[in-house]
Structure 1
Amino acid sequence: MTLDLRYTEEQEALRDSVRAMLTDHAPWARVLKVAESPEPDDADLWRLLSVETGLAALAVPEHLGGAGATVAETAVVLEELGRAVAPVPYLGTTVAAQLLVHLGESDLLRELAAGEVMALALPFDVGPTGSGLPGVEVSTAPDGSPLLNGTVSSVADGLRARVLLMPAGGALFAVEADAAGLTRTPVVSLDETRPLCDLAMWNAPARLLAAGDRAAAALDAALVAGAALLASEQLGLAQWCLDTTVEHLKTRYQFGRPVGSFQALKHRLADLWVELVQARAVARHAAASVAQGDPDARLAAALAQAHCGPVAVRAAEECVQMHGGIGFTWEHPAHLYLKRAKSAAVAYGTAAHHRAALATLANLAPA
């Protein structure tokens, strides 16, 4: 399958629109204020993204209230959200949307398109292979409806979700966030802009969405899409770190010269630029592969995560270090980019997890 990795005119226009929106509604001071607050995210910004502009439902079919676009357009939005480290549950909701689209769950998709937050009830580090799924047990109520019992740790976007999509017993269930027997407990997260929570269920009522191979295929498709989409967010984050560092080194003087004129720093930034160009290629490839149903989408997503996660961490670390003392202060945004990069590096599977998957998918012999 031939994939066009270039941004279309429509995607560039979408990027400009989202960047302008975030410049107005998610400046650094506001992001820091939300990170310091007890609220899980920026509710006003989420309302703008989901209800007023419909960006949270880009890949939802038009007849269900969405835009009828693809994962490629969603990836463009995530690039810009990564540049702003925007504290909104966009990634988790769009991954949930991918699962629901795969299942054809029209009612839940309509709710999502109307602005409801939904999330996969999985630990944030579970990758596309599905290893490490929580051991949630399924029982039956007297009326024959399913009940869930068990715990799930470190669920991203779970605090704000109205519906949790829960894998259990080889099936997929929808659990209302206010269901009896379900409790959500916030946990300390490295990334204040993407809080996590632990779930505990005691005979929590649920609705069966799918079982068997159909459930497994939908969950796998959602996790592959999640890995691909996260790569675009990491790309946007790394690009901001590089751009901001270059601008700082142009204006920061030491020994009567711009710091950016020092050859050692030039080499470090040149190396980072090369890695970032490669990251853009693999992230775009992953998004296009998922959007067009490429049979190699799983391989493309694994390649993107194996590369983009470490690049985002390195870009954020260089940003902190090359800003000198100011880069280590709470008042400068660099620390939130480093925290987002470090926490995202384990989301949907670590780089090591994806390198191992690549070896299997590409039939590479172990070293």
Structure 2
Amino acid sequence: MTAPTLISAEERDALRESVGDLLRKRSDPAAVRAAIGSTPRMDRELWSTLCNDIGIAALPIPDEHGGAGASFVESAVVLEQLGATLSPVPALSTALATATVLIADDAAATDRLLPAIASGEQIVTVAWADSSGWRRPGVRAEAGLLSGTAHFVTDAEAAGTILVLAAGTDGTTLHEVDTRADGVTVTPLPTVDPTRPLSRVDFDDTPATTIPAPDDLTDRLRTHAFALLSAEQVGGARRALELTVDHTTSRVQFGRTIGSFQALKHRMADMFAAVETSASISAAAVEAVVVGRSDASELAAAAHVHCSESFSRVTGDAIQLHGGIGITWEHDIQLYFKRAHGSSQFFGQPHEVVRSLSRTVLA
């Protein structure tokens, strides 16, 4: 596989600005709310523009497979911008599907899947959780057929292909399934966070294409997931802080803007510190994953814990500082609060990750 092209800081800033400009024009709160009420729950037009005009799906995909030949560092830049607007597009799902194919490193699978992902022609997601979470697959593989249920599958209702991690006699195996195949049933689920569409996917003796993959696929994919999700969480937390500052500098009480009260200043200073430390550990985790550092899994896990807790704390404070309007459907801050608590459960709850890290350190 070709090594990623080195991208300068200036080019990353240009990417950040391009995506941010597009989202400000095309993914305002009204557009987000309209998209989450559609079927499927995504903004198809925005996704098409992001793929065709900016090429976000192609960023970490090698040149020889129709990609930009960059890396997941650039994908994280995009995810941070999308996290700030809560745009309902399958960017995280696409990044994780790409990571799955790249980790598997099977020539036939990369030739078959990556060009369509890079162009945005095909939406691909990953299914690998059972009803209790991401510790074990909810699907079993036997004789090339899949049976069982995958839970918490992101963007499955819009996907054409699902990469399924399944339990088999020789451990976890990887399979490619067309969502239109016999025995596949995708059931969109109601969610606390309406901006993150989740589905249950049932398999009933479904024929699937097996993709050869290394034994550590699940661990490596989880490391990518923690790191990339943390970037999205940073964007959401930063935007929640911005909304709070805007509110407290315009809301007048007792003849003064409430943002001038010292107690509120202290709260927002703590929120700012949480956002900035999250940005630092997220960037470190993503870079470690991209360059293949030996401590990448620990850094990614730490980023998941810190960014999940910080995002939840920042949005919780934001709700309080907004007052009664903060819990109404009409105000956007409640959407960030829901995204924070929903994303903290993804790929492993923080307390589970801390327990796992502790075992690793003490072993």
What's 1:28 paired with?
29
What's 1:3 paired with?
none
What's 1:132 paired with?
136
Offset of residue 247 of structure 1: 1.8
Q: What CA distance in whole angstroms lies between the structure 2 residues aligned with 1:22 and 1:339?
A: 20
Q: What CA distance in whole angstroms lies between the structure 1 residues aligned with 2:316 and 2:186?
A: 33
What's 2:96 paired with?
95
Q: What CA distance in whole angstroms lies between the structure 2 residues aligned with 1:182 and 1:53?
A: 33
Offset of residue 122 of structure 1: 2.1
What's 2:150 paired with?
152
What's 1:110 paired with?
115
What's 2:219 paired with?
220
The 8 Å contact of residues 28 and 333 in structure 1, kept in 2 or not, is answered as yes
Q: What CA distance in whole angstroms lies between the structure 1 residues aligned with 2:39 and 2:112?
A: 31
What's 1:123 paired with?
129
Identity among equivalent pairs (%): 37
The 8 Å contact of residues 95 and 223 in structure 1, kept in 2 or not, is answered as no
Q: What CA distance in whole angstroms lies between the structure 2 residues aligned with 1:350 and 1:195?
A: 19
Mean Cα deviation higher: 238-247 or 328-337: 328-337
Offset of residue 233 of structure 1: 0.4
TM-score by length of 2: 0.91
Offset of residue 218 of structure 1: 2.8
Matched, 1:203 2:209: no
Q: What CA distance in whole angstroms lies between the structure 1 residues aligned with 2:130 and 2:273?
A: 29
Q: What CA distance in whole angstroms lies between the structure 1 residues aligned with 2:81 and 2:290?
A: 19
Alignment of 1:323-362 (within 5 A): 323-361=322-360
Q: What CA distance in whole angstroms lies between the structure 2 residues aligned with 1:218 and 1:154?
A: 19
TM-score by length of 1: 0.90
Alignment of 1:160-179 (within 5 A): 160-168=158-166, 169=168, 170-179=172-181
The 8 Å contact of residues 319 and 334 in structure 1, kept in 2 or not, is answered as yes
Structure 1 segments unaligned to the other structure (5+ residues): 1-6, 141-145
Q: What CA distance in whole angstroms lies between the structure 2 residues aligned with 1:241 and 1:94?
A: 24
The 8 Å contact of residues 124 and 156 in structure 1, kept in 2 or not, is answered as no
The 8 Å contact of residues 150 and 200 in structure 1, kept in 2 or not, is answered as yes
Alignment of 1:175-194 (within 5 A): 175-194=177-196
Question: 3-state DSSP class of the match of 1:193?
Answer: coil
Deviation string, structure 1 residues 52-95 (Cα, Å, up to 9, x no partner): 32101210001111111111111111110000001011101101
Q: What CA distance in whole angstroms lies between the structure 2 residues aligned with 1:355 and 1:185?
A: 32
Structure 2 segments unaligned to the other structure (5+ residues): 1-7
Q: What CA distance in whole angstroms lies between the structure 2 residues aligned with 1:288 and 1:310?
A: 21
The 8 Å contact of residues 130 and 137 in structure 2, kept in 1 or not, is answered as no
Deviation string, structure 1 residues 284-325 (Cα, Å, up to 9, x no partner): 110110111111110010110110001111111222221123
The 8 Å contact of residues 125 and 349 in structure 1, kept in 2 or not, is answered as no
Q: What CA distance in whole angstroms lies between the structure 2 residues aligned with 1:40 and 1:81?
A: 15
What's 1:13 paired with?
14
Question: 3-state DSSP class of the match of 2:191?
Answer: coil
Q: What CA distance in whole angstroms lies between the structure 2 residues aligned with 1:219 and 1:160?
A: 24
Offset of residue 126 of structure 1: 8.2
What's 2:47 paired with?
46
Question: 3-state DSSP class of the match of 1:55?
Answer: coil
The 8 Å contact of residues 125 and 348 in structure 1, kept in 2 or not, is answered as no
Matched, 1:62 2:57: no
Offset of residue 183 of structure 1: 0.6
Instruction: Return the letter of the residue paired with 1:193.
Output: T
Mean Cα deviation higher: 283-292 or 47-56: 47-56
Higher relative contact order (CA 8 A, sep 6+): 1
Q: What CA distance in whole angstroms lies between the structure 2 residues aligned with 1:32 and 1:166?
A: 30
Q: What CA distance in whole angstroms lies between the structure 2 residues aligned with 1:25 and 1:335?
A: 21
Q: What CA distance in whole angstroms lies between the structure 1 residues aligned with 2:130 and 2:267?
A: 31
Offset of residue 113 of structure 1: 1.0
